Chain A
Amino acid sequence: MSTKEHIDRIELLQGTLDLLILRTLLLGPAHGHAIAKAIEFNSDDVLQVEQGSLYPALHRLIKRKWISVEAGTSENNRRAKFYRLTAKGRKQLTLETSKWDKLAGAIARILRPRRQEGRP
């Protein structure tokens, strides 16, 4: 784990992936691959997530009862697991989103203080 290889990759902050999954599932139940695709697509491919890391996150969310899982059939009639946002998860999403906004705002203020003072 020497540092070099990590430098170019934007790693997701701890818990951010959870937030993204919850956000994706807000639109409706989806299976694992669909969630990965949706995250990639919606972020214009900027967030390079190893798709595999989705699975520990999904299980973590199931354990916390923020999402539930049910069997179903996918678009091409294959069996698949569908993940669905629970009421608890919805609440959590609201909470996490507002937290994220605060954090992002704060970081933005720190990184660009000069503009706020109106200097070039």
Chain B
Amino acid sequence: MKRRKLLLKDLDQDIRDHIDRETQDNIDRGMSPEEAHYAATRKFGNVTRVKEDTREVWTFVWLEQLFDDIRFGLRMLRKNPGFTAVAVLTLALGIGANTAMFSVMQGAVFAPLPYVNPDRLVMVWENNPRFPRTWVSYPNLQDWQRSARSFQQMVAFREEGVDFAGPGTPEHLNRKEISSGFFSTLDTKLTLGREFSPEEDRYGGAPVAIISTRLWRNRFDGSPEVLGRSLTLEGVDYTVVGVTAFGVTAFGFRLQDDADVYTPLGQIDPLILNDRAAHDGIYALARLAPGVTLAQAQAEISTIQNGLDHLYPDANRDLGIYVEPLKQFVVGDAGKMLLLLLGAVGFVLLIACANVANLLFARSAARAREYAVRVALGANRTRLVRQLLTESVLLSLLGAGLGLLLAIWGVKLVPAAVSENLPRSENIAVNGPVLLFTLCTSIAVGILFGLAPALKSWNSHPQASLKEGGRGSTAAHHRTQSILVIVQMALTLVLLVGAGLLFRTLRHLSDVNPGFDAQHIMTFKVGVSRSLTKTVPATRTAYQQLIERIRQIPGVQGADFTGSVPLNGGWIMPFWIGSQRPASLQGAPRLVMFLTGPDYLRTMGIPLLRGRFFSSEDTTNSPCVMVIDSVLADMYFPGSDPLGQTLSAGFSPVGPCRIIGMVGHVKQWALSDSSTDIRSQVYFPLYQDPDQWVLLNYPNMTIVVRTPLDVASVMPAIKDAVYGAGSDQAVYDVHSMREIVLDSMSSQRFPMILLGTFAGLALLLASVGIYGVISYSVAQRTHEMGIRIALGAEKRIIFRLVLGQGLRLVLAGLAIGAVAALILTRLLSSFSHLLYGVGTNDPLTFFAVALALTGVAVLACYIPARRATRVDPIVALRYE
């Protein structure tokens, strides 16, 4: 560095010496001293330039120039506050929306799960030709644990809520029943204590529990002496042996849904654990052994499963196996949907860019003279383009700054609006990776919208610009601007069509008859006290008394139990008609089973089509009866009378039972339930539930109540009735049926809200865009308009002229947009169950949306068109 300073310091002297020598040479050749010096100087060239170039060799010139450019750029932006404000605001909307969307994507999809080496964690599923994933059979899982070498560790867990009686007020808790080794598989540490030992993880083992930090703080005051204390779950005292860190087994699902208490899986009813044919809520979680790939693990365990299928052909028929990364299971379809939405919001940014590019075009026309002067004075064209790009990147960075604020605000709204459908929504925040994304996006965007105007200035001829007296070359500008407007219109149309299709879907869905009357129904669950449910007969009595109490409440028009609430999924089981049991239950057709009380049908307002529904006389002491729905009747009794026929159902089958009635079909999976779902339904009387299932089935019952009162006003009376039967009974999962119906549409509503917002933004930006371009063109053509009016053109004609110009752009955009939309909306139909009742090329949507877009655009052109008709020819002509 020192050498460089020395060399540069001497440079002046070196140059002087050089010229002196050349002068001397020239004098020696016989020139006059004056002539000689002149010739030498000319031969040397531009001294200042040489010095600059030499200095450039040693310095980071580009950096110095960048600072210069930034200074100059900021000055230019300050000088045009109106232009700057509009451009920055436009970009802030575009970049802000993108940042918010990316934050969602980053938090929900990209961020790694909060475990050590999370990409080695996998879920292991069984599957069959009907379902890509089923819960696993515990005996099968034990065989995998014994034989498979691809896994460092494999454990099982089950999510089964539990009624908590104390210490403190009764509450229903989320519980996970877990294998020993569960936490070491996740490789996560407990806050306190230890996890379950293999001895505890078997039937009859010591009742031990691990609790969450939340429960520890709320019920044990966060005291370190919690280990060894006991808590009561469903009448059993469990000893606390550990405390988990907050949200640690949520797997990145919603943290508030994480378990509050853990008990050993091996202690649950052997009826579930020992039956190889049972697939009852058990998940398998595993950690791949070091160096083993997913494919290798899949191959090994498939081989093992094939062996098991041969060994136990009845229980395992058609069973395959599927190893899935835990992350993929957690994120599910959300990743694909978010990617689609990220694409959509990218359109908004493109539209914003087009707007700013148009503004820059208009301004570069105004600045053409400045460029021309600079070029004429010897400015390097590359330098000029760089200067302009610096300005546009500055603009986009300013926009990004403001956009970040918008995004921080927007990101707070997103989870509140859509958390039902978004995994890991509490993870969503404007953080490091998001900031990086925003920075990169804004720089890229700045170059994108700055490049075209900058290159235009590259090609401009200084002479022409100077001669035109600062009006700039207009024709070429117009073409580019028109193209940008057309692109904007096209992009907006695509977004509008997408939002429109989803909107129509939601409309169709709310028109769907769910098969029951959703008005005035509320549902909840009750944790009936263990002291009342020690034996099967006592349990039956306790539940019957509970429902009687609830029926007594004033305002309650009907109430009863059901095993599953409509639109919330249900129990799928194999069935057969008649007395001939099929060779394999796995191969038998499936139905959805409702275990309900006799008043369920009336309470829910489900129509009875034939025969009768069951009554309180249908009990374990009377012949077994069932009621089928119209779908099952149509599919399995075409043209014959189902009443009086017999049907058996279940993996541990009940029946054959006599079919005594037929009721209307109820939407059980979603309002849009399709032919690929299991739609056949059977109702089975709760009071005929076999004794061995009572203790398992009854606690899962949901109570439905029909009452014209709202939830808040009837709930206290219900709680009183429940507490009256046992003070340790929790009332939980309280919902109104309308809420459940609305929730069932959330997978459509989430993209609709976001796509709708994006489409709205796009529409706003695009109409500002077309307004700007038409206004600019009117301003440019003031002179022409003045002449036309002076020559006697009617205002109507002028008006039509301007409006026609706008309309041509709109129509071109619509045509291109419609084609693009036809292609792009197919993406929507690649999501199963997303669209309902509309095709992706729904003509009504296309037409309505195109009409709306045209209307808004015409409105945007109306203002400049009016202005054109008001041009005063005298003023316009003098204007020159």
Contacts and interface: CB of A to CB of B under 8 A. Distances in A.
Interface stretch (B53-61, B689-697, B761-769): B53-61
Given A33-B18, A56-B50, A56-B56, A51 B381 contact: no
A59 B58 CA distance: 8
A59 B462 CA distance: 34
Contacts, number: 59
Contacts of A69: 7
Given A1-B381, A32-B18, A78-B17, A52 B44 contact: yes
A62 interface: yes
Interface in A3-60: 32-33, 36-37, 50-53, 55-56, 59-60
A110 B56 CA distance: 36
Contacts of A36: 18
A85 B43 CA distance: 26
Contact count band on A: 20 to 34
Contacts of A52: 15, 44-47, 49-50
Contacts of B15: 52, 55
Nearest to B17: A80
A8 to B, nearest CB: 16
A45 to B, nearest CB: 12
Contacts of B381: 1
Contacts of B14: 32, 55, 81
A51 B45 contact: yes
Interface in B123-159: none
Contacts of B462: 2
B225 interface: no
Given A1-B375, A1-B381, A51 B18 contact: yes
A52 B380 CA distance: 19
A63 interface: yes
Nearest to B8: A59
A101 B11 CA distance: 34
B171 interface: no
B375 to A, nearest CB: 7
Contact of B22 (A2, A51, A60): A51
B464 to A, nearest CB: 12
Nearest to B15: A55
Nearest to A79: B17
B10 interface: yes
A51 B43 contact: yes
A50 B58 contact: no
B378 interface: yes
A56 B17 contact: no
Interface string A52-90: 110110011011000001000000001011000000000
B14 to A, nearest CB: 6
Contacts of B47: 52
A71 to B, nearest CB: 9
A26 B690 CA distance: 106
Contacts of A50: 43-46
Contacts of B7: 59, 62, 69
B21 interface: yes
A60 B375 CA distance: 27
A39 B3 CA distance: 27
A51 B47 CA distance: 10
B163 to A, nearest CB: 80
B50 A55 contact: yes
A3 to B, nearest CB: 11
A35 B45 CA distance: 16
A68 B715 CA distance: 94
Contacts of B49: 52
A55 B43 contact: no
A78 B25 CA distance: 15
Contact of B54 (A37, A56, A80): A56
A36 B15 CA distance: 12
A69 B10 CA distance: 12
Given A52-B50, A56-B53, 7 more contacts: A1-B375, A53-B50, A56-B54, A59-B54, A59-B58, A62-B7, A81-B10
29 contacts: A1-B375, A1-B380, A32-B18, A33-B22, A36-B18, A37-B25, A50-B45, A50-B46, A51-B18, A51-B22, A51-B44, A51-B45, A52-B15, A52-B44, A52-B46, A52-B47, A52-B49, A52-B50, A55-B11, A55-B15, A55-B50, A55-B53, A56-B53, A59-B54, A59-B57, A62-B3, A63-B4, A63-B58, A81-B10
Which 8 residue pairs across A and B have the least CB separation, nearest first? A50-B45, A52-B50, A52-B45, A56-B53, A33-B21, A59-B57, A52-B44, A56-B54
